[in-house]
């Protein structure tokens, strides 16, 4: 064999460049899996086409009234559009000159809603009763006890000037001219380092309908890159939708750069809303921010809030933060607006824009943002191509209709505060919703296959076969794809984008490429980042697979819970999976808050039975003591099926049954694959547990803790010779088996 530079794949990837920009999803005329199985499955059936699922619909449980609003049967058929592909047909003019100036003409035709941006915001905020009370409260807190009767007028004036200064540093100052100019610049830049930016025209049609309503819109995108700030505003500008006011961290408040962000709608906030820079409680700042957002909503301005608070370093969405979201909900309870329309937004990139986060994951401090660093980032982006981008807009839903508890005029202050807090928590479903409507990119699938299925390498033909099967599985799970075209071309395109993370060799014997993942730690971190983009597709099955291994291990040593060799109690399996789901709840979401975890796990068991991985061996017709204890631990509200389903027999007494595990090779390979998906996360938990157990000396700061934990994890994982094989020495199998059922 001889080494082949990945650059040799550029010619093939140029072909896939055209295919990835197609509006319609064309599935090649070949054979695919009849059911959800591994790529090595033998049984296949002819598949002529598979429609793209329309993602982003409102939950029929959380938002039943909003589900049918703005939606009609023709919406899904409107198809995809490449936003940065502009020619004379997108303008009012035709001819040679129109073709040369199509970008300028297109930008000039956009409606920037010049007369619809806020006015007198600073004065309205400073004159608000809440801000005035916060000023007085701040002055009183700093006065001696004997002088509290009459606050000092000089101190009041000083705090008022401070409030004005805070507000002037915070507020946005949208300029329609700058938005139009930036739209033209971004059109040129995005065409330079992206091959396409795909959006679904049906989703944008629903957003347009919601924008015409007499209610402000709040966009809640997942946060993966600094480009997110510009990307959403650019897409809305191209579709004549008013620019939103964007909540940005004060770490981006850089010279020159901050002025541009403010002109585009950005306003800067602290990471911690209630705490000042010196660590003291800052009532004034939170009051100013609360009233400012309330004023924007009152004037029917649109907001863009990244509720995760920071960019994801792992490829998985972070747990949301309550700060700004609770302020938005509080504005509705305070009658500042009649209703608020919320739109989750999923964003998927073929390639990480900022490069990678390997240094931060290895425990090194985060580099502070600077103007020079921002300019270097722009230059670096112009030298590379970052493939395709997919932006999906969820269906707008009404906060008022989703809550249904707005008869609060007679409530006490504590009742209102509790309701706001609980409803803000219920809106956290938007992070899983945005993740659910995020498309799976080609690099996600290829990285996942190389990292968790073909760690030792694979021939290109086999990788293409597995890639096709995997994308069919993704579509079967109602997740959309961010690419289209022939599988071989798309795989070559993904390998080109993965760059140094993969090793490509050509064999003289059969002239076929051999692909293997790079084994360096930075490369593995980056591949894991990409592969986490597909984790949500298999999450429930992966949790169940890990729990199945743990349950089988426990049954082998506990005769009281095994009926015969190779069988496992479904009751015990679901209990173990529920424990694991609870353990991982800060990192992954197995079920939405409107859905019981046990419902998702029962559904996963049903899928395993359908796939043939599990078979019903026998059913226990008499309730066991374990079953009675398990049933008594949970209220009726945790039942996995609604009592309103008259055709269901779930209301009857449920019996435990024993499930037999298939011994076929393809099913074993599938279980191994699912184990490996959760392997890095569970091994991190395992290493953290070992570290805490042996913790003795103090560690300086968060980054020191991360570095020490990383060293401990390397030591602990060396105890296991085969961390990714199904045996009793699996770290995550040990972790699941050791987790208490309660």
> pLDDT tens, 667-714?
888 888 998 898 888 888 888 887 777 777 777 766 677 777 777 666
Average model confidence (pLDDT) for the chain? 77
What pLDDT is stored for residue 643 in this prediction? 40
Q: What whole-number distance in Å separates Cα of residue 504 and Cα of residue 9?
A: 10
In a domain, 666, yes or no: yes
Distances (CA, A) of 402 to 64, 67, 215, 329: 8, 10, 15, 12
Q: In this structure, are residues 481 and 439 in contact, taking their beta carbons and an 8 Å threshold? A: yes
What pLDDT is stored for residue 43 in this prediction? 32
State yes or no: pLDDT of 153 exceeds 60. Answer: yes
Domain finish residue from 519, 554, 579? 519
What pLDDT is stored for residue 432 in this prediction? 66
Q: Is the domain of 130 the same as that of 208?
A: no
Q: Is the domain of 451 the same as that of 431?
A: no
In a domain, 63, yes or no: no
Cβ atoms within 10 Å, residue 237 = 24
Q: Is the domain of 293 the same as that of 363?
A: yes
In a domain, 62, yes or no: no
Which residue carries 């002037």 as its tokens?
A: 168
Which residue carries 């760059």 as its tokens?
A: 499
Q: In this structure, are residues 551 and 568 in contact, taking their beta carbons and an 8 Å threshold? A: yes
Cβ atoms within 10 Å, residue 458 = 21
In a domain, 417, yes or no: yes
Q: What average pLDDT does range 2-23 have in this prediction?
A: 41
User: Which stretches does DSSP call E strand in 338-445?
Assistant: 341-349, 388-393, 397-398
What pLDDT is stored for residue 731 in this prediction? 39
In a domain, 125, yes or no: yes
Q: What is the DSSP string of 302-326?
A: -EE--TT-S--SSSSPPPP-SHHHH
In a domain, 625, yes or no: yes
In a domain, 64, yes or no: no
Q: Which tens digits make up the pLDDT trace of 292-347?
A: 999 999 999 999 998 887 888 888 887 777 778 888 888 887 888 888 899 999 99
Q: Is the domain of 431 the same as that of 451?
A: no
Q: Is the domain of 542 the same as that of 509?
A: no
Tally: H helices and E strands in the chain:
29, 18
Q: In this structure, are residues 518 and 501 in contact, taking their beta carbons and an 8 Å threshold? A: yes
Q: What whole-number distance in Å separates Cα of residue 600 and Cα of residue 547?
A: 14
What pLDDT is stored for residue 428 in this prediction? 54
State how beta strands 245-249 and 217-221 pair. Answer: unpaired
**pLDDT band, residue 361 (cuts 50/70/90):** confident
Q: Is the domain of 190 the same as that of 146?
A: no
Cβ atoms within 10 Å, residue 289 = 23
Which burial class, exposed, middle or buried, applies to 580 when counting CB atoms under 10 A from its CB (0-12, 13-18, 19+)?
A: buried
Q: In sequence order, which ranges of 427-534 are alpha helices (DSSP H)?
A: 430-436, 442-452, 460-476, 487-498, 521-531
Q: Is the domain of 394 the same as that of 450?
A: no
In a domain, 13, yes or no: yes
Q: What whole-number distance in Å separates Cα of residue 582 and Cα of residue 689?
A: 16
Q: In this structure, are residues 430 and 325 in contact, taking their beta carbons and an 8 Å threshold? A: no
Q: What whole-number distance in Å separates Cα of residue 468 and Cα of residue 308?
A: 33
Q: Is 397 helix (H, G, I), strand (E, B) or coil?
A: strand
Q: In this structure, are residues 54 and 392 in contact, taking their beta carbons and an 8 Å threshold? A: no
Cα dihedral across residues 412, 416, 421, 425: positive or negative = positive
Which burial class, exposed, middle or buried, applies to 280 when counting CB atoms under 10 A from its CB (0-12, 13-18, 19+)?
A: exposed
Distances (CA, A) of 648 to 64, 238, 274, 416, 627: 21, 49, 49, 37, 21
Q: What whole-number distance in Å separates Cα of residue 391 and Cα of residue 232?
A: 8
Report the residue count for the chain. 742
Q: What is the dihedral of CA 121, 124, 126, 127, to 10 degrees?
A: 170
Give the count of domains, the chain.
5
Q: What whole-number distance in Å separates Cα of residue 462 and Cα of residue 81?
A: 32
Cβ atoms within 10 Å, residue 469 = 23
Q: What is the DSSP string of 672-726?
A: HHHHHHHHHHHHHHHHHHHHHHT--S---HHHHHHHHHHHHHHHHHTT-S-TTSS
Which residue carries 């972790």 as its tokens?
A: 735
Q: Is 217 helix (H, G, I), strand (E, B) or coil?
A: strand
Cβ atoms within 10 Å, residue 470 = 25
User: Which helix (H) or strand (E) element contains residue 502?
Assistant: strand 502-506
Q: Is the domain of 387 the same as that of 262?
A: yes
Q: Which tens digits make up the pLDDT trace of 470-488?
A: 998 899 888 999 998 888 9
State how beta strands 388-393 and 266-269 pair. Answer: unpaired
Range of the domain at 141: 121-168
Q: Is the domain of 318 the same as that of 466?
A: no
What pLDDT is stored for residue 226 in this prediction? 85
Nearest CA-CA partner of 61 in 419, 426, 343:
426
Q: What average pLDDT does range 58-85 have in this prediction?
A: 86
Q: What is the CA radius of gyration of the chain?
A: 28
Q: Which residue has the higher pLDDT, 282 or 496?
A: 496
Instruction: Name the most confidently modeled range: 416-425, 430-439, 570-579.
Output: 570-579
Q: In this structure, are residues 588 and 436 in contact, taking their beta carbons and an 8 Å threshold? A: no
What pLDDT is stored for residue 207 in this prediction? 94
Q: Is the domain of 347 the same as that of 229?
A: yes
DSSP 341: E
Q: Is the domain of 375 the same as that of 448?
A: no
Q: What whole-number distance in Å separates Cα of residue 110 and Cα of residue 121?
A: 26
Q: In this structure, are residues 672 and 726 in contact, taking their beta carbons and an 8 Å threshold? A: yes
Q: What whole-number distance in Å separates Cα of residue 224 and Cα of residue 347?
A: 8
Q: Is the domain of 423 the same as that of 477?
A: no
Q: Is 613 helix (H, G, I), strand (E, B) or coil?
A: coil
């Amino acid at each position: 064999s001889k080494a082949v530079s990945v650059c040799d794949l550029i010619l093939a990837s140029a072909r896939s460049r055209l295919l990835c920009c197609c509006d319609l999803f064309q599935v090649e005329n070949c054979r695919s899996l009849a059911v959800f199985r591994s790529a090595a499955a033998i049984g296949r059936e002819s598949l002529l086409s598979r429609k793209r699922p329309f993602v982003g619909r409102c939950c029929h449980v959380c938002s039943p009234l909003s589900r049918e609003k703005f939606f009609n049967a023709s919406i899904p058929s409107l198809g995809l559009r490449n936003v940065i592909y502009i020619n004379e047909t997108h303008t009012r003019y035709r001819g040679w000159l129109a073709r040369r100036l199509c970008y300028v003409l297109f930008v000039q035709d956009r409606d920037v809603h010049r007369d619809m941006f806020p006015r007198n915001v600073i004065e309205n905020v400073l004159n608000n009763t809440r801000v005035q009370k916060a000023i007085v409260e701040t002055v009183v807190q700093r006065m001696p006890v004997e002088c509290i009767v009459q606050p000092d007028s000089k101190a009041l004036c000083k705090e008022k000037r401070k409030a004005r200064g805070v507000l002037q540093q915070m507020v946005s100052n949208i300029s329609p001219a700058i938005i139009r100019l930036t739209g033209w610049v971004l059109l040129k830049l995005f065409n330079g380092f992206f091959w396409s930016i795909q959006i679904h025209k049906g989703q944008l049609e629903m957003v347009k309908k919601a924008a015409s309503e007499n209610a402000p819109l709040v966009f809640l995108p997942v946060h993966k890159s600094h480009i997110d700030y510009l990307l959403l505003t650019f897409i809305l500008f191209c579709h004549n939708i008013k620019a939103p006011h964007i909540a940005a961290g004060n770490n981006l408040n850089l010279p020159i750069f901050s002025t541009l962000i403010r002109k585009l709608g950005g306003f800067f906030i602290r990471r911690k809303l209630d705490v000042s820079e010196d660590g003291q409680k800052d009532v004034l700042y939170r009051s100013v921010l609360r009233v400012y957002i309330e004023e924007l909503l009152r004037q029917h301005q649109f907001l863009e809030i990244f509720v995760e608070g920071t960019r994801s370093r792992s490829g998985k969405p972070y747990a949301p933060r309550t700060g700004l979201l609770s302020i938005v909900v509080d504005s509705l309870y305070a009658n500042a607006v009649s209703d608020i329309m919320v739109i989750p937004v999923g964003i998927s990139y073929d390639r990480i824009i900022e490069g990678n986060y390997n240094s931060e994951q290895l425990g090194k401090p985060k580099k502070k943002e600077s103007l020079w660093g921002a300019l270097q980032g722009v230059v670096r982006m112009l030298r590379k191509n970052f493939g395709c981008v997919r932006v999906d807009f969820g269906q707008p839903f009404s906060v008022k209709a989703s809550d249904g508890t707005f008869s609060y005029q007679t409530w006490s202050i504590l009742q209102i505060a509790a309701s706001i807090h609980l409803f803000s928590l219920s809106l956290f479903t938007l992070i899983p919703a945005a993740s659910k409507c995020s498309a799976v990119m080609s690099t996600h699938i290829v990285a996942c296959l190389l990292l968790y299925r073909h760690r030792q390498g694979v021939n290109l033909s086999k990788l293409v076969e597995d890639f096709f099967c995997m994308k069919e599985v993704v579509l079967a799970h109602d997740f959309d794809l961010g690419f289209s075209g022939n599988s071989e071309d798309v795989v070559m395109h993904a390998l080109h984008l993965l760059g140094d993370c993969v090793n490509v060799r050509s064999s003289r014997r059969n002239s076929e490429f051999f692909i293997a993942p790079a084994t360096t730690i930075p490369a593995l971190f980056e591949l894991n980042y990409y592969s986490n983009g597909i984790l949500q597709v298999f999450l429930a099955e992966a949790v169940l697979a890990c729990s199945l291994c743990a349950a089988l291990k426990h049954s082998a040593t506990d005769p009281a819970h095994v009926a015969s060799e190779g069988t496992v109690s479904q009751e015990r399996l679901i209990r173990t999976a529920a424990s694991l789901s609870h353990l991982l709840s800060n990192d992954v979401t197995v079920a939405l808050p409107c859905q019981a975890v046990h419902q998702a796990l029962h559904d996963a068991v049903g899928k395993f039975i359908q796939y043939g991985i599990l078979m019903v061996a026998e059913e226990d017709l008499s309730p066991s003591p374990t079953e009675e204890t398990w049933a008594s631990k949970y209220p009726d509200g945790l039942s996995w099926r609604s009592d309103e389903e008259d055709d269901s027999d779930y209301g009857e007494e449920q019996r435990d049954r024993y499930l037999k595990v298939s011994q076929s090779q393809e099913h074993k390979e599938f279980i191994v694959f699912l184990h490996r998906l959760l392997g890095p996360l569970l091994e991190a938990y395992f290493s953290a547990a070992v570290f805490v157990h042996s913790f003795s000396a103090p560690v300086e700061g968060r980054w020191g803790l991360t570095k020490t934990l990383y060293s401990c994890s390397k030591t602990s994982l060396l105890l296991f010779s085969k961390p990714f094989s199904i045996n009793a020495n699996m770290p995550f199998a040990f972790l699941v088996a050791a987790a208490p059922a309660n």
